[in-house]
Amino acid sequence: MEKILVLDFGGQYNQLIARRVRELNVYAEIKPYNRVTPEEIQAAGYKGIIFTGGPNSVYDENSPHYDPKVLELGIPILGICYGVQLLAYMSGGEICSANDSSEYGKTVVFTKNSLIFNNVPTKSICWMSHTDYIKTLPKGFSVIAHSDNCPCAAICDETRKIYGVQFHPEVTHTIYGKQMLRNFLFNICLCKGDWKMSDFVEASIEKYRKHLKGKKVLLALSGGVDSSVAAVLLHKSIGDNLICVFVDHGLLRKGESEFVMKTFGEKFGINLICVNAEARFLSKLADVTEPEKKRKIIGEEFIRVFEDKAKELGKIDVLVQGTIYPDIIESGKGESAVIKSHHNVGGLPDSIGFDEIVEPLSELFKDEVREIGMQLGIPKELVWRQPFPGPGLAVRVIGEITKEKLDILREADAIFREEISEAKLESITDQYFAVITDLRSVGVMGDKRTYGYTIALRAVTTDDFMTAAWTRLPYDVLEKASNRITNEVTGVTRVVYDITSKPPATVEWE
């Protein structure tokens, strides 16, 4: 299988580079620069290497450098942003800091005739984000693009097939960026471009069949997309040697536990153990009202429950995690700055005593994982399901968490989801759910006074969940959901709709 290596020097856009390459039907693997040697690169038979961007300056004391032997392997290289500065520096060029003329954002770039700029106009908009620039060109290189502020916006040594661009071809703001990557892959690396996602699936099944032969493998299945895809993939490789543990913490949506058992246990025949830990979680959560404290208790208890089950199972050789590439980046496990800690990475205890962690999806993005899920025959409603937070309904029960409040919430939430589905509105909202507030109010039913909880409905529209707008749901859908909830769910007198965006609110209420 032909493949490209994306050598990661820590830039925030690096994830996108691999993805763009895969979109062009060439498989791309990302590896942190300090975890692969030139010898390993040569042995792996890569058709090309892309040096990514990164936040450093090549002269910083701790800036990532790379072994210059890589330049002599005869494998084509494309350096991007920090990557091109590093290539120039490694080849004897001089890099300078230009605080007064740093470039950020859309910039007009003038290109010359070069293989990398085939079918790219001589003047086009590119996305720049740099302070340093190449001041003195290394021997053997020539300048093939410039901007008003950057004399070396692109360089190349055509004989050694080494290219570099100061701008970011992987972002859509660089209008001809994809064309440049296409040129690198097909004109310079001479790739065929016949890779498909199904190749990845088949290769992974085969790889883990060999690698995990005879081993006892454990996976914590949450019923979310990532762990589900990892489970089905590994089950195809090693069958019953994969044991999945599903922890029902009593904070799940209506029907969730049954759905997971039915889908994975019955449909796929996966060796699946459901641990009913509702009583354990609810007793730990009794009287707790502070949101962060709830989360902490749930996180810790989850680990304890999983650990207890693992101990019962005897020696475990391998732990599988459904980590995907953005999780690694966001947790600061690659070279990028830490943005937030993610529950998937390193969340499970060493005390279980496994020898190895396997993360079969760690190179992929969410939509790629979904595509694999579809290929593996996982039901569409699971593959395309909305996100559900690890702490479950606990972050949607305001105030003290009780079984009574959870049951009311489960019913109200199920009705709201049914109405969204009935009105076929899944395409206009990315996450939608009910929240049970700690507020009770007076109502009237028949001729009787009632006194019950207020349910808040929340629906948001977003690309990345970092920001979100409240979804403009049609009034008649809201009306029907409200009528049904107050009529069908005992203990609810009032339904409100949350019309706050993120920021200033968050998606979840806690």
Return residues touching ligand XMP (CB under 6 A).
343, 387, 389-391, 431, 465, 502, 506-508
Least distance from C-beta 220 to ligand XMP, angstroms? 13
Least distance from C-beta 287 to ligand XMP, angstroms? 21
Least distance from C-beta 500 to ligand XMP, angstroms? 11
Nearer of residues 74 and 504 to ligand XMP, judged by Cβ: 504
Token pair listed for 431: 């996450």
Question: CB of 48 within 8 A of CB of 28?
Answer: no
- Which of the following is catalytic: 126, 156, 168, 244? 168
Token pair listed for 31: 């590896």
Contacts of 39 (CB under 8 A, 6+ apart): none
Computed on alpha carbons and rounded to an integer, the radius of gyration of the chain in Å comes to 26
Active site residue 173: no
Least distance from C-beta 303 to ligand XMP, angstroms? 14
Nearer of residues 151 and 224 to ligand XMP, judged by Cβ: 224
CA-wise closest residue to 365 among 13, 4, 19, 5: 19
Question: CB of 342 within 8 A of CB of 330?
Answer: yes
Question: CB of 269 within 8 A of CB of 255?
Answer: no
Pairing of strands 154-157, 356-358: unpaired
Look-up of token digits 């230009």: 98
Q: Is the dihedral of CA 94, 95, 99, 100 positive or negative?
A: positive
- Which of the following is catalytic: 81, 152, 156, 244? 81
Q: Give the helix/strand (H/E) hosting 330.
A: helix 325-330
Least distance from C-beta 325 to ligand XMP, angstroms? 16
Least distance from C-beta 507 to ligand XMP, angstroms? 3
Nearer of residues 224 and 349 to ligand XMP, judged by Cβ: 224
Active site residue 189: no
Pairing of strands 154-157, 162-165: antiparallel
- Composition of the chain by helix, strand, coil, percent to 5: 35, 25, 40
Nearer of residues 238 and 245 to ligand XMP, judged by Cβ: 245
Least distance from C-beta 463 to ligand XMP, angstroms? 12
Residue type, position 440, single letter: R
Active site residue 81: yes
Nearer of residues 334 and 390 to ligand XMP, judged by Cβ: 390
SS3 label, residue 127 = strand
- Which of the following is catalytic: 2, 103, 170, 368? 170
Q: How wide is the angle at C-alpha 22 spanned by C-alphas 18 and 28, nearest 5°?
A: 50
Question: CB of 52 within 8 A of CB of 11?
Answer: yes
Q: Give the helix/strand (H/E) hosting 302.
A: helix 291-312
Just list the catalytic residues: 81, 168, 170
